[in-house]
């Protein structure tokens, strides 16, 4: 593995690049959501197709990550990382100047394909330069604070830009941010793979992914991470109905309550990063999963016994978000540090599976004919039990 032989400032720039570019893929997916009605009016597109465009982005984004792992093993991390950013910039230009919805979707497709590169390779590049699994998990904790901010900040920024200017201002912002990231990475991102593979084939890539999937530790930690992400997706989708319709909060009060809850993800990640100085990464993960299960039990009690108690559900949400802040970095680190070689494929498959499973589960949950408060509680309990069973039932062979 390559150890970073650089000043503290150079290391800070390096980690900041990985952080920002990893956030960018999620940011691109959500920034235009508040503008969907305006886009529909301009292009004469109905709401269901517009809603599908968001899901479509995530599907492409998830599967595209499978491409970059093998490519980075053959041609190096830096070259493929920059190529992905360039593809996304090209897609953003198409989206920005789109004259109909079909052109917009084509642009979004290129954006999703391109942004999958920094998302899948960012954690792998950090693994290249941070061989110690505890140090790696601590870095993932602090990085995760920014990554999980993206889906919260993106709609806010997008709504402001669209309100003050036009929905195309969202994509001007993305274009400027993407170009800035590309320039920064071009000059400061170092190649971290010292021994690239000498051959690349579809058969070899498939064999590699099968080899990774057969690893029990990888599947165990990917499943745990996917369960938490599925719960987050469901909560994000239903939170407005829960707090505004069920509890009768205004839009401003909903935003305040939502922000308070989401802040605990960052608190959990920061606490995890600090705690890993004193406890093992495995113990930290156990604490996170136990808190996840505890929060889901509280939600069940609240939904069926105290359905009108806002304080009760906020306590449960804060505990859940704190647990998510602990589980994400520990699970991703434990899934990846299991392997010593083919890290590009490992990182790509982890990103694809965790996002795809979470998106499908969270999306399917939306089709269940239950009230928001009961649906959230039941989904949280099911995913928490699955996480608990995988954590304590699957051995780390």
Instruction: Encode pLDDT of 269-282 as tens digits.
Output: 888 878 888 888 88
First CA to last CA distance, the chain: 23
Q: What CATH number is given for 8-192 in this structure?
A: 1.20.1250.20
Indicate the class that CATH gives domain 215-393: mainly alpha
Fold: same for 8-192 and 215-393: yes
Residues in CB range of 230: below 8 A, 6 or more apart: 357, 358, 359, 361, 362, 365, 379, 383
Instruction: Assess whether pLDDT exceeds 80 at residue 134.
Output: no
What SS3 state is found at 25? Answer: helix
Helices and strands, number each (H, E), in the chain: 14, 0
Confidence of residue 90 (pLDDT cuts 50, 70, 90): very high
- pLDDT of the residue at 387: 93
CB 285 within 8 A of CB 391: yes
Output the CA torsion sign for 270, 271, 272, 273: positive
What does residue 263 show for φ and ψ, rounded to 5 degrees?
-60, -25
On average, the pLDDT of the chain sits at 79
- What is the 8-class DSSP label of residue 191? P
Instruction: Encode pLDDT of 144-170 as tens digits.
Output: 666 666 766 776 777 777 777 887 888
CB 88 within 8 A of CB 115: yes
On the CB side of 295, CA atoms within 13 Å amount to 28
Residue 160 CA to residue 356 CA, distance in Å, equals: 29
Domain boundaries, given as residue ranges, for the chain: 8-192, 215-393
Assessment of whether the complete model's pTM goes beyond 0.85: no
- pLDDT of the residue at 263: 79
Instruction: Encode pLDDT of 28-74 as tens digits.
Output: 877 776 677 777 777 777 766 766 677 677 788 888 888 887 788 77
Output the CA torsion sign for 22, 270, 279, 9: positive
HEC letters along 202-264: HHHHHHHHHHHHCCHHHHHHHHHHHHHHHHHHHHHHHHHHHHHHHCCCCHHHHHHHHHHHHHH
Instruction: Assess whether pLDDT exceeds 90 at residue 286.
Output: yes
């Amino acid at each position: 593995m390559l150890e970073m032989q650089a000043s503290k400032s150079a290391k800070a720039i390096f980690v900041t690049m990985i952080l920002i570019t990893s956030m960018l893929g999620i940011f691109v997916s959500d920034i235009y959501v508040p503008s969907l009605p305006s886009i529909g009016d301009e292009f004469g597109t109905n709401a269901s197709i517009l809603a599908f465009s968001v899901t479509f982005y995530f599907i492409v984004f998830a599967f595209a990550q499978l491409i970059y792992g093998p490519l980075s093993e053959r041609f190096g991390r830096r070259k493929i990382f920059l190529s992905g950013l360039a593809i996304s910039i090209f897609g953003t230009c198409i989206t920005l100047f789109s004259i109909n919805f079909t052109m917009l979707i084509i642009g979004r497709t290129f954006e999703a394909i391109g942004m999958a590169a920094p998302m899948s390779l960012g954690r792998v590049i950090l693994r290249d330069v941070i061989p110690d699994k505890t140090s790696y998990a601590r870095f993932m904790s602090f990085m995760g604070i920014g990554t999980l901010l993206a889906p919260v900040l993106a709609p806010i920024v997008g709504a402001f830009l669209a309100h003050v200017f036009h929905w195309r201002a969202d994509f001007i912002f993305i274009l400027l941010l993407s170009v800035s990231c590309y320039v920064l990475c071009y000059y400061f991102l170092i190649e971290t793979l010292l021994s690239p593979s000498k051959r690349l084939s579809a058969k070899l890539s498939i064999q590699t992914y099968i080899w990774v999937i057969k690893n029990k530790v990888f599947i165990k930690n990917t499943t745990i991470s996917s369960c938490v992400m599925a719960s987050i997706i469901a909560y994000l989708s239903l939170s407005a109905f829960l707090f505004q319709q069920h509890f009768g909060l205004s839009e401003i009060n909903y935003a305040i309550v939502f922000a308070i809850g989401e802040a605990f993800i960052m608190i959990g990640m920061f606490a995890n990063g600090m705690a890993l100085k004193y406890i093992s990464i495995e113990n930290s993960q156990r604490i996170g999963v136990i808190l996840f299960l505890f929060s889901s039990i509280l939600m069940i009690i609240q939904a069926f016994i105290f359905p009108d108690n806002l304080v009760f559900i906020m306590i449960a949400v804060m505990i859940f978000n704190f647990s998510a802040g602990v589980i994400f970095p520990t699970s991703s680190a434990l899934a990846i540090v299991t392997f010593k070689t083919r890290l590009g494929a490992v990182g790509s498959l982890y990103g694809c599976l965790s996002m795809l499973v979470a998106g499908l589960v969270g999306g399917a949950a939306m089709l269940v004919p239950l009230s928001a408060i009961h649906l959230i509680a039941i989904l949280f309990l099911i995913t928490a039990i699955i996480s608990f069973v995988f954590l304590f039932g699957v051995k780390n062979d």
